Amino acid sequence: MSAHNIRLAGIAVSRGIVIGRALALARAPLQVEHHIIPGAQVPAELERLQRGFDLAIGELRRVQQGLADEAAYADLHTLLDAHAMLLEDEALQQGAAHYVRERHYNAEWALMEQLAELSRDFDAMDDSYLRERKADLEQLVARVLQCMRLAPGVAPPPMTVLPSGADASLDVTSLPPRPRDALPQIVVAHDLAPADMLHFRRGMFAGFVTDAGSKASHTAIVARSLDIPAVVGMKDASARIAHNDLLIVHADAGLVILNPDEATLQTYRGLQAQMLQARQRQQRLRYTPAITRDGCQIELLANVELPADCEAAVAAGAVGVGLFRSEFLFLGRHDSLPGEEEQYRAYRAAIQAMQGLPVTIRTIDIGADKLLEVCGHALPSQEQSALGLRAIRWSLANPELFRTQLRALLRAAVHGPLNILFPMLSQMGEVRQTLELLEQAREELRARNVEFGPVRLGAMVEVPAAALMLRQFLPHFDFISIGSNDLAQYTLAVDRAQASVAHLFDATHPAVLHLIANVIAQCKAEGKSVCLCGEIAGDPHITHLLLGLGLQSFSMNPAQLLAVKERILQADTGVLAPWAQQVLELEDTQAALEPSG
């Protein structure tokens, strides 16, 4: 008889509770035949290899086009685009073809050899988001292998739920039989591909649990975007959970309960009902101004990845965009980087989508990685580091590219209120260089008689040096944005994507809170606005503490906005301020994130 109430801990990446039956997808290893082909067979083998790529890429593009007009799935659309570009990469295609031509490997073996080589490059990257793309590549190669095995003229089966590393898709019309209790299905797999998320969009599955993944993984990004209860990074969940097992997935807590007893089921059904009532209640707050009980007006902004995301931000009641990440224009570009005109159109689209509300666009925050290598702007792998040439450092090392982005931003400012945000500033020399290049960009537009608009300038505080140098920074900027994720990572010397130390990452660590509190206080003293745009900005459990520290501007994923607004409407900053100062003096702040009484 199975044990009851087995609690499995993972990484919380979304919200909600789902109770259902496990749809357990076994992970199949990528196994291929290895043999040497005769020289006369090389052209046919190269053709088979290319056909596999063409079919897999075409499939991704078709799925992506089907989402083109659905703003709610902008994150999924972007991930599919990034996956298609990974498959289109010459390093992957030509590398595999090289093994066929020069070593006479069969196509499957050649592709696996090139995958192994590229995987080593991904492993060398310090950026957690980029390291996660290795798993994406493995999934894509599995799909190419499947397409290569099809006879000429045979179309690949539709993309369906595909376990990472599996070499065949599962037909959702012939899944294993389900119990008759009509509970929803919860996918349990080693990992999922973005295209698999279409099944969640269609309501086929109610949640998912994966062994792999982190807060930066594609599964986490899509779970938040589609508001699906999910827990990732569980390591061995797929080995411990059997098909049709009864599960409770408590996404907010990063918790999965296997085979819950009746008492536990009743408890979580009650919590589920409370959450549903809370969401319904929060929906009524969409047009309610975010004002505390003592009359303090709070600015609630949205973090967005794409111009298409702006529609969701407006729908959630955001009063602007607090962080628009411009990296989507640059990532996965292997032949050329986006020019001024392409960037201008993207920034203009975001500004226009916000219908006159302010938009803050962060200049490129990217490291010196393989994604830019073909363009001649990467460093050797041994020089890639989270402490190396990234963000503003990369921009200042490539002034022509930086001025191109700045000109595009200045031009876009004609179409609505625009703020430009500079990431990872740490010293005054960088501030001066940045402002000089901005002025050069203005002069270049004047020389071409190209119209440009006024902009407000902001500095990101995401390294301790910026927090400590803030008094020197403030005269040069109109506002400050606190990136609490990186600020915590650099302050605590913890890479939260590293499983061995991820438990040490804590954005509410006393040292991090002291830095945040000091930044807020200094900005207020100088009459400069300050916004917080890290993960804790969208965590309702931390809202009261941030209000008590004096924060009046929050930027978060649009899906989190109404829950935070509800907390703001219940707050009295006059009561919270002295309590927050007491929290700063504690050794363990986690135990006291809510005021007593």
pLDDT, tens digit (0-9, with 9 covering 90-100), for 157-171: 554 433 333 333 344
Supply the residues annotated as catalytic. Answer: 218, 533
Average pLDDT score over residue span 441-453: 97
Q: Is the pLDDT of residue 111 over 80?
A: yes
pLDDT on residue 269: 94
**Residues 505-546: pLDDT tens digits?**
788 899 999 999 999 999 999 999 999 998 899 889 899 999
Contacts of 448 (CB under 8 A, 6+ apart): none
Strands 17-24 and 185-189: parallel
Return the pLDDT at 372. 47
The CATH architecture that domain 6-26+162-166+179-279 belongs to is 3-Layer(bba) Sandwich (3.50)
* Alpha carbons 331 and 325: distance in angstroms, whole number: 11
282 pLDDT more than 80: yes
Q: Which of 461-465, 466-470, 491-495 has the lowest mean pLDDT?
A: 491-495
For the chain, the structural domain boundaries read: 6-26+162-166+179-279, 39-149, 286-590
Residues of the chain with pLDDT > 90, as a percent, come to 45
Sorted by sequence, the CB contacts under 8 Å of residue 444 that are 6+ apart come out as 403, 407
Residue 252, Cβ neighbours under 10 Å: how many?
Answer: 17
Confidence of residue 138 (pLDDT cuts 50, 70, 90): confident
- State the DSSP H helix or E strand holding residue 313, giving kind and residue range, or none if neither: helix 309-315
User: Residue 324 is inside which H or E element, if any?
Assistant: strand 321-325
Report the SS3 class of residue 397: helix
29-38, 76-85, 345-354: least confident range: 76-85
pLDDT in the model for residue 505: 79
Confidence of residue 502 (pLDDT cuts 50, 70, 90): low
Q: What is the pTM of this model?
A: 0.69
**At a CB cut-off of 8 Å and minimum separation 6, what does 274 contact?**
none
Q: Which CATH architecture has domain 39-149?
A: Orthogonal Bundle (1.10)
At 157 the pLDDT is 54
Q: Is the pLDDT of residue 592 over 60?
A: yes
69 marked as binding residue: no
Looking at residue 174, what is its pLDDT? Answer: 44
Q: Kindly give the interhelix angle for 561-569 and 540-548, rounded to the nearest 10 degrees.
A: 50
Lowest mean pLDDT among 255-269, 381-395, 523-537: 381-395
Residue 58: pLDDT band (50, 70, 90) is: confident
**DSSP readout, 500-544?**
TTGGG--TT-HHHHHHHHHHHHHHHHTT-EEEE-SGGGG-HHHHH
pLDDT band for position 91 (cuts 50, 70, 90)? confident
Please report the pLDDT score of residue 497 as a whole number. Answer: 59
CA dihedral over 466, 469, 471, 473, signed as positive or negative: negative
User: At residue 187, does pLDDT exceed 50?
Assistant: yes
Percentage helix, strand, coil for the chain under 3-state DSSP, each rounded to 5: 50, 15, 35
Strands 17-24 and 246-250: antiparallel
Return the structure tokens found at 288. 């309610």
Cα separation, 13 vs 194, whole angstroms: 15
Tokens read off for 590:
């986690």
The Cα 526–Cα 543 span in angstroms is: 24
DSSP 298: -
Report whether 104 contacts 37 (CB < 8 A): yes
What share of the chain in percent tops pLDDT 70?
79
**Looking at residue 87, what is its pLDDT?**
84
Range with the largest mean pLDDT of 160-174, 284-298, 317-331: 284-298
Q: Look at residue 575 in the predicted model and tell me its pLDDT.
A: 95
* Per-residue pLDDT at 139 exceeds 80: no
pLDDT of 376 = 47
**What is residue 190's DSSP assignment?**
S
Q: Is 451 marked within a binding site?
A: no
Provide the token pair at 24. 């357990």
Q: Which residues are 419's β-sheet partners? A: 360, 456
Average pLDDT, the chain: 83
Strand order of the β-sheet with 207-210 is: 6-9, 255-258, 246-250, 17-24, 185-189, 207-210, 230-232, 11-12
* Confidence class for position 19, pLDDT limits 50, 70, 90: very high
Using alpha carbons, select from 9, 5, 34, 15 the residue that is nearest to residue 539: 15
Residue 399 pLDDT class (50, 70, 90 cuts): very high
Q: Which of 104-118, 162-176, 465-479, 503-517 has the highest mean pLDDT?
A: 465-479
Name the superfamily (CATH) of residues 286-590.
Answer: Phosphoenolpyruvate-binding domains (3.20.20.60)
pLDDT band at 370 (very low <50, low <70, confident <90, very high): very low
State yes or no: 362 annotated in a binding site: yes
Contact 148, 52 (CB under 8 A): yes
- Position 526 scores a pLDDT of 96
Q: Is the pLDDT of residue 400 over 50?
A: yes
Q: Do the domains spanning 39-149 and 286-590 agree at the CATH topology level? A: no
Go through the chain and tell me how many residues it has. 597
443 has binding-site annotation: no
Task: Give the pLDDT score at 70.
Answer: 58
